[in-house]
Structure 1
Amino acid sequence: MELKSRVLVAVYLLTAFLALLMSWAHLPAYFGSGFADANIQFWNDALFNANPAGKFLAVDVLFLAFACNVWMFIEARRIGVKYVYVYVIAGIVIAISVAFPLFMAARELRLVATDKHFTGYKIKTVDVITLVALFLIGVFAAFAIL
């Protein structure tokens, strides 16, 4: 596997791991209620008891999750990534911010295995700087609200 693919898979896996830690750090308040009651209370809080900014983010993430799921189904069928429903269900039950990077890692590994990956792309320095800045903003924001 080329270095680009190894780095990309590592970035996706790190993103999924940090997303799991940072998102689930806010869930212990719901754990005592059982799975169904916890989900009802969580979504009630996220969509109806939140302030306008929280409601915006909840709706934004739900629509983003839908678009990610559409793309995951199409891409999984196109290149042969197995178990696409595991990623979709994980996005619902765990977090889309965990499931989607895991799918992207599986996708990259599948592309490498089938020799369909495109190695001719050139990422620019400004792209890397922008991605690092966006990553750091997300991490700092997640730590700030812990």
Structure 2
Amino acid sequence: MRTGPRPARRDRLLIGVYAAIALGALTATWWQNIRFLRSEDNGGVLGFVRDGYANPAAASISNDIIFVLLAVVVLMVVEARRLGIRHVWTYPLLSLAVALSVALPLFLIARQYALIRRDAEPRAPS
């Protein structure tokens, strides 16, 4: 049983692209995370963070990701409030627990569905 308006072809394509990115990101990040966790004397979470600052190149990428995460969390909260997306807190949490590259496309899917719902609402005459 379907609820809400049917997404247009363009919307379905965009949602599919976001889903493919999330799946690819999940595979790419967790493949490496599992490799790290299976290595001996990895140091756990602190070792993971430490290794993210192992050299200037790694530190640059780590810092870049941290600041992108902060900007994305602000965007998520603002867009969630504007479009009525519920449970927005799950996306930043997912960013920390899984990966930002997984959580962001999932948020963008939720945002796209919210835009579809908003655009399907009847407008009052101006």
TM bracket, shorter-chain basis: 0.7 to 0.9
For residue 85 of structure 1, report the CA deviation from its aligned partner. Answer: 0.5
SS of the aligned residue for 1:25 comes to helix
- Which of structures 1 and 2 has the bigger CA Rg? 2
> Which of residues 30, 35, 39 is equivalent to 1:24?
30
RMSD: 1.7
For residue 3 of structure 1, report the CA deviation from its aligned partner. Answer: 0.9
The count of aligned residue pairs is 111
SS of the aligned residue for 2:52 comes to helix
Matched, 1:100 2:107: no
Structure 2: 5+ residue runs without aligned partners?
Answer: 1-6, 121-126
> Which of residues 63, 72, 78 is equivalent to 2:76?
72
Residues 106 and 31 (structure 1), Cα distance of their counterparts in 2 relative to 1, 3 Å cut:
farther
1:3 alignment partner AA: R
> Which of residues 20, 42, 53 is equivalent to 2:57?
53
Q: Distance in 1 between matches of 2:12 and 2:29?
A: 25
Query: Which residue does the alignment assign to 1:9?
Result: 15
Q: Distance in 2 between matches of 1:82 and 1:40?
A: 32
**4+ runs of 1 displaced by more than 3 Å?**
none
**Contact 1:30 1:41 survives alignment (8 Å):** no
Structure 1: 5+ residue runs without aligned partners?
Answer: 117-146
> Which of residues 28, 37, 42 is equivalent to 2:48?
42
Q: Distance in 2 between matches of 1:67 and 1:17?
A: 22
**More helix by proportion, 1 or 2?**
1
Q: Distance in 2 between matches of 1:31 and 1:74?
A: 38
